[in-house]
């Protein structure tokens, strides 16, 4: 097998393995509002907990669960919002309001 073919094969394997990650592993970690990094953060934990930090360190805790292939339901009493992963961004929707988040690396 030529070096060119092996390189392409390796790239395809790496690309496909990244595509197979479930929404759960993609969500885990800290997210910030796109363009407003100091306003609000949302952190998703493996055990289904979510913590929203805003203002001067105030927090609101809740839970999250996957409801479809790329959609999550976030419950923080008394609110429930849906989130959709799209193009590496997390779009949170509540009623007619929408916020776009980017994952902190």
pTM metric for this prediction? 0.73
* Structure confidence at residue 87 (pLDDT): 86
Q: Which of 29, 41, 23 is nearest to 85 (CA)?
A: 23
pLDDT value of position 11: 37
CB-based contacts of 27, cutoff 8 Å, min separation 6: 44, 64, 72, 83, 85, 90
Residue 2 included in any domain: no
CA distance 17 to 6: 16
Please report whether residue 13 resides in a domain: no
Considering its fold, how many domains does the chain have in total?
1
* Residue numbers of the domain that contains 46: 23-103
pLDDT at 75: 94
Q: Is residue 1 part of a domain?
A: no
16 falls within a domain: no
Residue 92 lies inside a defined structural domain of this protein: yes
Which pLDDT belongs to residue 69? Answer: 87
Residue 51 belongs to a domain: yes
Residue 87, domain CATH: 2.40.128.370
Query: Is 15 part of any domain?
Result: no
- DSSP per residue, 33-72: ETTEEEEEEEEE-TTSEEEEEETTTEEEEEEEEEEETTEE
pLDDT tens track, the chain, 105 positions: 444 444 433 333 333 334 435 888 899 999 988 777 677 889 999 999 999 988 778 899 999 999 998 899 999 988 899 999 988 899 998 888 898 999 987
pLDDT at 7: 40
């Amino acid at each position: 097998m030529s070096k060119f073919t092996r390189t392409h094969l390796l790239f395809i394997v790496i690309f496909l393995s990244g595509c197979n990650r479930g929404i759960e592993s993609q969500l885990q970690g800290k997210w910030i509002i796109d363009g407003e990094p100091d306003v609000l953060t949302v952190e998703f934990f493996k055990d289904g907990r979510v913590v929203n930090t805003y203002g001067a360190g105030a927090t609101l805790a809740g839970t999250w669960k996957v409801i479809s292939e790329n959609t999550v339901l976030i419950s923080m009493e008394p609110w429930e919002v849906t989130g959709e992963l799209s193009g590496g961004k997390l779009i949170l929707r509540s009623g007619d309001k929408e916020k776009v988040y980017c994952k902190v690396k």
